[in-house]
Amino acid sequence: METLQQQWDAITLIKIFEIEVIDKRTGLKDYIIFDITMNKRYLIASHVALTRAEEGRNFIAFKAIEIDDSFTLDENLQELYEVCIESITNSDFYKLNN
C-alpha cells in the first residue's frame, strides 16, 4: 500500500476523469468531471449529482473503490473509471456520448 501511496503522491497531472456525456434534459453535449482523491485505502471520485437521489442529498456525490494493493495503481484507477462509467450509464440526467 505504501508503494501505491508514493506513486499517487508523485503524480503531477490533475487527478480527474473527464467523460463526455449528453445531458438528457437538454440533449446537449457536456462533460462530467470526476475529481479523484486517495484517502487511506480508498480511491474516491467526487462528481456532480447523477441521479435524483444524489441531487436530494446534502453532501457531495462520489463513487469509491477499496484499493487492492495486489494490483498496480493503474489497475486500481481503471476499476474506479469503470465504476464512474457505470454511474453515468445509470444516471437520471446524463448518458454517455458514444
Output the CA torsion sign for 66, 69, 70, 74. Answer: positive
pLDDT confidence of residue 98: 83
Short-list 64, 68, 73, 71, CA closest to 4: 73
| DSSP secondary structure letter of residue 81 | H
pLDDT confidence of residue 54: 95
Q: Please give the average pLDDT of every successive group of 10 residues along the chain, which has 98 residues.
A: 92 97 97 97 97 92 96 97 98 95
Residue numbers of the domain that contains 16: 2-96
For the chain, the domain total comes to 1
